[in-house]
Structure 1
Amino acid sequence: MNENTNGRTVALVTGANKGIGYEIAAGLGALGWQVGVGARDERRREDAVRALRAGGADAFGVPLDVTDDDSATAAAELLAERFGRLDVLVNNAAVAGGWSQQPSTADLAAVRLVMETNVLGVIRMTNAVLPLLRRSAAPRIVNMSSAVGSLTLQSDPEAFTGPASAAYGPSKTLLNAVTLQYAKELSDTGILVNLACPGYCDTDLNGHRGTRTPAQGAVIAVRLATLPAGGPNGQFFNEDGPLPW
């Protein structure tokens, strides 16, 4: 049954039970949107939904493991049944893969998990909901990346991109490349596909060493989720503007 009879924007945020993902969901909910909280852990997912609702957001839970084909398909089916479309997808779910990640001593199992989540998970989820995005009047895809994915910055000795990384940094570089290809493929569809860098935020991902709050990190994602028609496509931004590839 399609419950979306009021024309309100429908968004799905993956990995939204905590951290930046939660704050993105809160930011979109504050706009009056209906926001799906995608997360694997049922208790954390429902706790997040309750907290978002208590803050005034129209949030609902979406059981979702982006590394699993069946889970992504089931999430898309849930959205199709409930709303008949999806307006905004924010691919936020990610893992770091542990530290350190010196290439010469890399744990290949950890590298595979990072790539499976941070890159293949984005492809899997995007493809699962793409038919629903095509039904939207103003579809947007926001992929959460990082400045460490920029080859320009990584090759600049003056830029701070952290220690050598065989997993997390390269996963974001590949995500950037994949996002650009989606933008090219979908350039004539009205679907705007962009990359957001939240900055170095205080989250579980980095052991809470970040200097920005998750709410600050969510700002650029909300901005890209609300781009007007004719807005940028296939671009890489942080809160201050475009980033180098």
Structure 2
Amino acid sequence: MTATLITGANKGLGFETARQLIAGGHTVYLGSRDAERGRRAAEQLGARAVQLDVTDDASVAAAVTTVEADGGLDVLVNNAGIAEEWTSGNVVVGAADLTADLMRRTFETNVFGTVRVLHAFLPLLLRSAAPVVVNVSSGLASLTRLTTPGGRSYAYPGVAYPASKAAVNMLTVQYAKAFPTMRINAVEPGFTSTDLNGNTGAQTVEEGAEIIVRMARVGPDDPTGGYFDAEGTLPW
């Protein structure tokens, strides 16, 4: 049975991804920064709760120990993320008000957290017969979209969140080249209604999770080092 770890999975897209993968036969480790919330979510789904704060080395190391003791890992879904530039009232912190502190906090979770988890779980993934990594990115990470006038992404004024997800895309490309036996891809779930955006998204978590689940199920002959949404390949 395929063993899968999902970070930031006690609610939203992570929770729905866990639900769909469990329904498809995966054993899912539900990673959650808050241990109690994670435990309740895991009980609801039939997953295995793992306390995991992607910003904390000790927490990530303990999660590795737990998963390794259970037998190993085949699929890692890096889903945990923040968007602190999305303030109340749907006001986005733009370039004029961007601070180094806001950028640092965003990168600590979205970028350094992804690296921290990847680095820690690589030994387990490399023991798998068919290791897979899914990095949850964003359409706002596309430099092509953000520089093409007329599109929704072009009008987006924020800096920290798209910069962090563009960095996640670069991590995806470079890790995929470094580990050619693994399938490592970035995905754009779409503008999904979750707590991250104050539940203002245009689609459901069921719809948003579809591409994450699809890429978590890829095989050794499927693409790696790519950037995808539900419709296909996205421009970098």
TM range (shorter): over 0.9
Helix, strand or coil for the counterpart of 1:134?
Answer: helix
State whether structure 2 residue 93 is matched by structure 1 residue 93: no
1:60 to 26, 48, 69: 48
Q: Residue 77 in 1 paired to residue 65 in 2? A: yes
Structure 1: which 5+ runs fail to align?
A: 1-7, 54-58
Q: Per-residue displacement from partner, 1:199-236 (whole Å, max 9, x unpaired)? A: 00001111111001111111101111111221100000
What letter matches 1:98 in structure 2? E
Residue in 1 that maps onto 2:139: 147
Question: Are the counterparts in 2 of residues 97 and 111 from structure 1 also a CA contact under 8 Å?
Answer: no
Shift of 1:107: 3.0
Check if 1:167 corresponds to 2:160. yes
Deviations, residues 130-158 of structure 1 (Å, cap 9, x unaligned) = 00001111100000001000000000112
Residue matched to 2:109: 117
Separation in 2, partners of 1:229, 1:185? 15
Contact 2:31–2:50 (8 Å) recurs in 1: yes
CA distance in 1: counterparts of 2:84 and 2:51, whole angstroms:
22
Alpha-carbon shift at residue 191 of structure 1 (Å):
0.7
Q: Do the aligned partners of 2:78 and 2:134 also contact (CA within 8 Å) in 1?
A: yes
Cα distance in 2, alignment partners of residues 132 and 48 from structure 1: 25
Counterpart pick for 1:30 among 23, 28, 49:
23
The answer to whether the 8 Å contact 1:87/1:139 transfers is yes
Q: CA deviation at 1:27?
A: 1.0
RMSD: 1.0
Which of 186, 197, 216 lines up with 2:188 in the alignment? 197
Name the CA distance, whole Å, in 1 between partners of 2:219 and 2:177: 18
Is the 2:183–2:219 Cα contact (8 Å) retained in structure 1? no
How far apart are the structure 1 equivalents of 2:23 and 2:228?
22
Q: Distance in 2 between matches of 1:158 and 1:236?
A: 22
SS in 2 for 1:195: strand
Q: Percent identity?
A: 43
Residue equivalent to 1:232: 223
Structure 1 counterpart of 2:5: 12
Aligned runs of 1:36-55 on 2, under 5 Å?
36-53=29-46
Query: Which of 211, 234, 240 is 2:202 aligned to?
Result: 211
TM-score (norm 1): 0.92
Q: Which amino acid in structure 2 is aligned with residue 221 of structure 1?
A: I
**Matches of 2:177 and 2:38, distance apart in 1:** 34
- Does the Cα contact within 8 Å between 1:192 and 1:232 map onto a contact in 2? yes
Deviation at 1:108, TM superposition (A): 2.3
Counterpart code for 1:113: R
String of CA shifts for 1:73-116, please: whole Å, max 9, x gaps.
Answer: 11111111111x21000000000013322112113222111101
Pairs aligned (count): 230
User: Residue type matched to 1:237 in 2?
Assistant: F
- What is the DSSP-based 3-state SS (H/G/I as helix, E as strand, rest coil) of the residue aligned with 1:194? strand
1:132 corresponds in structure 2 to 124
Give me the TM-score of the superposition, normalised by structure 2. Answer: 0.95
Distance 2:75 2:33 in 1: 20
Partner of 2:89: none
